[in-house]
Amino acid sequence: MARLADHFELVSLRLGDMLYQPGSQLWHAYFPTTAIVSLHCVMASGASAEAAGVGNEGMLGISLFMSGEPTSSTAVVQTSGYAYRLESHLLKQEFDRGDWLQRALLRFTQAHIMQMMQTAACNRHHLLEQQLCRWLLLTLDRSPSYELVLTQELVANMLGVRREGVTEAAGKLASSATGADT
């Protein structure tokens, strides 16, 4: 860590900031501390859905050490906060040493793949209310507080559904939480 400590740059990430776009070359890896970043798959039509999220448990820029190829996803800030940024060549250089950072990044990559597999299965087999619960819990796990500032539009974009669907699902969850009949 001592070799990299002076190279990490603390950056402020604002809601909606685009860190990566499909086909773009990555110049930095990001290690969120309080920010949450959403990775989206973007379809040819322009529609998108969240494939994974990254908060203080991980990093953005797996392709930097796995292939060096441009990214195929969009990375957009979902929750404002901070992250440490590291130049791509420094990450790759340290990864190639085969030391502790390589092991940690490969463990995170495995966990990240498992998260994407779980998201795909959830999106295919669960009701929207269940998908919303899962997304909210994952977001709360990554959040530095127990308060989420978000809109139905944001959640709809993350889940790849219409805003009205989120309104209905949230209403059902609120009704079941209060014990009211729906």
> Of 129, 137, 123, which is closest to residue 182 (Cα–Cα)?
129
Above pLDDT 70, what percent of the chain? 98
pLDDT bin (cut points 50, 70, 90) of residue 116 is confident
**Cα–Cα separations (whole angstroms), residue 84 to 1, 5, 64, 162:** 13, 10, 16, 34
> Which of 53-62, 102-111, 169-178 has the lowest average pLDDT?
169-178
CATH number at residue 13: 2.60.120.10
Distance CA 88, CA 70 (A): 12
Residue 182 pLDDT:
46
pLDDT surpasses 60 at 10:
yes
* Residue 21 belongs to domain spanning: 2-178
Q: Which residues contact 52 (CB under 8 A, 6 or more apart)?
A: 38, 39, 112, 115, 116, 119
pLDDT surpasses 90 at 9:
yes
pLDDT surpasses 70 at 48:
yes
pLDDT bin (cut points 50, 70, 90) of residue 92 is very high
Mean pLDDT of 161-180: 79
pTM: 0.83
pLDDT surpasses 80 at 61:
yes
Q: Which residues contact 58 (CB under 8 A, 6 or more apart)?
A: 31, 32, 108, 111, 112
Higher pLDDT among residues 155 and 108, named by residue: 108
Mean pLDDT of 88-98: 92
pLDDT bin (cut points 50, 70, 90) of residue 17 is very high
Residue 181 pLDDT:
54
User: In what side-by-side order are the strands of the sheet with 81-87?
Assistant: 9-13, 81-87, 28-32
Mean pLDDT of 145-149: 78
Q: How far apart are the first and last CA of the chain?
A: 54
Quote the number of domains for the chain.
1
